Structure 1
Amino acid sequence: MFAYLLALLLLLWFLCWWLRDRVRLQKVSDKHVFITGCDTGFGCLAARAFDREGFQVLAGCLTQEGARSLTTDASSRLKTIQLDITKAASIENAVNQITQEVGDAGLWGLVNNAGIAGVLCPTDWLTVEHFRRPIEVNLLGPIAVTLKLLPLVKKARGRIVNVTSVLGRMALGGGGYFPSKFGMEAFNDSLRRDMKSFGIKVACIEPGSFETRMTNCDVHRNSKQCVWDNLPADVRRQYGEDYFLQSCIRREKLMRILSSRDLSQVVWCMEHALTAKYPRTRYSAGMDAKLVWIPMTYLPTFITDYLLGTDTIINLNAV
């Protein structure tokens, strides 16, 4: 009897959560949303999707080529803003343009999406400069943009959406990407709590592996090859001459198994975080995030280390 009652309570709780999760804002046409990293990938797709929904989209693009490509399929409402989030002057210029666009209404949504992978190699192959660039782009850049735009978000009592990674919970290897995403998770948590009293909702999106420029296997292989070719001879001997090739094969096999082409899964999370009356604090996107990486973070460390140190995880997902 107790088991049936418990199951009923759980079912009622889920139904209430599901209904609450579906409640959306009625009007978005008067709301401005600023998205960084709109040249390609998630940002580009999100800018176009939000534009179709009626948002006043301000799209931050690193390159003029990316901005031109984005505006070809967009309405006249969408405006692009040149932005390099690692440069203070570029951020200041973008903030001035955004301030003029939003006026007294303020900025409803800030989506910190821009990011890079950097060089992903064993730690003893790397220099501090290999860590510096991903941390500047993935962590310090979004923090700088957020701090500058917070007064406008406060004015609108709006939303901040930080795109981190499911690998901000668990590092798979060496390089600056994983520390930058761990740091962004921490910034997201502190910002969410600090902004709650101002009526600002802060959400974190943790995508799994998707087929974007950031996960391009050829790019990663070339950058890794460059580092390998310049390693001291004794380090190469320690790893063995076939290590480079085998590690690339393993990574590419894992990407083929786990990566998704459906970038709209991440865009849906962004859209829900901006338009739901009760947005979630965390979103996971991709089946690999839900079924592989997040469950692995709850395993004992020695089990996770074993799985990541062998081909076991590849074999498991190949079944």
Structure 2
Amino acid sequence: MLHCILGSIFASCSLTFELSKLKDPEYFMKVKSLLLIKTSSLCSRFRENVWLCVSATFVVLWIIAWLYRDSLEIENMNEKYVFVTGCDTGFGNLLCKKLDRKGFRVLAGCLTEKGADDLKRATGPYLKTVLLDVTNQDSIEKAMEWTKKEVGDTGLWGIVNNAGRSLPMGPSEWMKVEDFHSTLKVNMNGVIGMTMTFLPLIKKAHGRIVNVASVLGRVAANGGGYCISKFAVESFSDCLRRDISYFGINVCIIEPGFFKTAVTSLDPLERELHRLWNQLSPEVQASYGDKYLDKYIKIQRLIMNAICDSDLTKVTNCMEHALTAAYPRTRYSAGWDAKFLWIPLSYMPSCVVDIGLKLVLPRPSKSV
């Protein structure tokens, strides 16, 4: 009954709430008054159940307070420094441009000189770039020393560990140990290395650590090092958050769904699958069957084309909120597939996930 009342309250409200306007006292009071009026009106129909009305009013007030608190932003953004990794393309590149327009002093770590030059041409004078390879601790140390000179006594307000890779990805039996290591080196070791090296600068500013994980850090949907690395990012971030929260440092986790970036580009994914298949022994290939690879690639194409979102701002908006909100969230799920498929699936019993994936993926010819 309670959910029916709440549904009626919001369905009957002609006002469209804009979070960005909730900081305006007049707009906030308007929203509050409207919701209370609607709640009072509906409660008059349920006088026989006073506690139901009280509960509905309490929930509505809690929602208003949460929306208002979530919309509050930090001050003096133009005095704060943010370091972002993986800025050549994709989420990192777009985030740097957004933060630059917002007034932050952006320090962008790029893997290539071309990526750094292209980003500098597309942004203002306050954005600076540095060449960075997160798999190389010497490169990380040099970037930290450069950053220390840039920020001075201010410290580093935020670090966004965005750099990552997905390849190779496929059935676990097709992988060699080196295939796992190549992904873990970037997605796990890179995040840990960057975070621990830059932590003193973050601690000085009582800032933010934003780690980009994935919905595949909640549901292990395929083999290879990618899911393993993203589960590691989730657990590392949780441990770190609990350890350093005493110093006024927030650790936020971004969990994007499937988006059209270099990580989900079909051509490289399919090339890697062919490479993995060709390195298998004849016995292993025979256990899967001649048609397995083609079926696997076909299903992968269907899934990627169906759920990959081209709107990268859904992810960068989460990153931006984690850096600019006065009260950032612990986790951000970006994308409709994340919110309505992968995250709910992560709370299901393992047998449900196992059955679902078996129904989607092809069956080896010699399965029992």
TM-score range, shorter chain: over 0.9
Q: Which amino acid aligns with 1:68?
A: D
Aligned match of 1:242:
291
Matched with 1:168 is: 217
Pairs aligned (count) = 312
Partner of 2:64: 15
Select which of 76, 86, 89 maps to 1:40.
89
Matching residue within 342, 358, 364 for 1:293:
342
Separation of aligned partners in 2, 1:88 and 1:132: 16
> How is 1:106-185 mapped onto 2 (pairs within 5 angstroms)?
106-185=155-234
TM-superposed deviation, 1:301: 1.4
SS of equivalent to 1:218: helix
Shift in Å, 1:69: 1.0
Distance (Å, rounded) in 2 between the aligned partners of 1:303 and 1:25? 42
The 5 A counterparts of 1:173-212 are 173-212=222-261
Name 2:25's counterpart in structure 1.
none
Q: Deviations over 1:111-168 (max 9, x none)?
A: 0000000211111111110100111100111111111111101111111100100110
The whole-number CA distance in structure 2 between the counterparts of 1:186 and 1:303 is 23
In structure 1, the partner of 2:332 is 283
Q: TM-score, normalised by structure 2?
A: 0.83
TM-score by length of 1: 0.96
Identity of aligned residues (%): 47
The correspondence of residues 74-85 of structure 1 with structure 2, limited to 5 A, is 74-85=123-134
Q: Distance in 1 between matches of 2:203 and 2:291?
A: 55
Q: In the aligned structure 2, how far is the partner of 1:149 from the partner of 1:159?
A: 11
- Between structure 1 and structure 2, the one with the greater Rg is 2
- Consecutive unaligned residues of structure 1, counting only runs of 5 or more, are 313-319
Q: Deviations over 1:237-268 (max 9, x none)?
A: 11111110111111111111111001011111
Q: Could you report, residue by residue, the CA deviation over 1:49-103 in whole angstroms, capped at 9, with x for unpaired residues? A: 1011110000000011110111111101100010001111111110110000000
Q: Distance in 2 between matches of 1:146 and 1:14?
A: 34
Letter in 2 for 1:245: D
Rounded to whole Å, the distance in 1 between the matches of 2:86 and 2:178 is 22
Q: Which residue pairs with 1:224 in the alignment? A: 273
User: In the TM superposition, what is the alpha-carbon distance from 1:230 to its structure 2 partner?
Assistant: 1.6
> Matches of 1:121 and 1:167 in 2, distance apart?
13
Show the counterpart of 1:317: none
1:31 paired with 2:102, answer no
- Where in structure 2 are there 5+ consecutive unaligned residues? 1-48, 362-368
The CA deviation at 1:7 is 2.8
Distance 2:52 2:178 in 1: 57
**Match of residue 57, structure 1, among 95, 98, 106:** 106
**Could you tell me which of 277, 302, 309 is aligned with 2:358?**
309
Deviations 1:188-214 (A, max 9, x none): 001111111000111100000000000
Per the alignment, in what secondary structure is the counterpart of residue 78 of structure 2?
A: coil
RMSD: 1.0
SS of the equivalent of 1:29 reads: helix
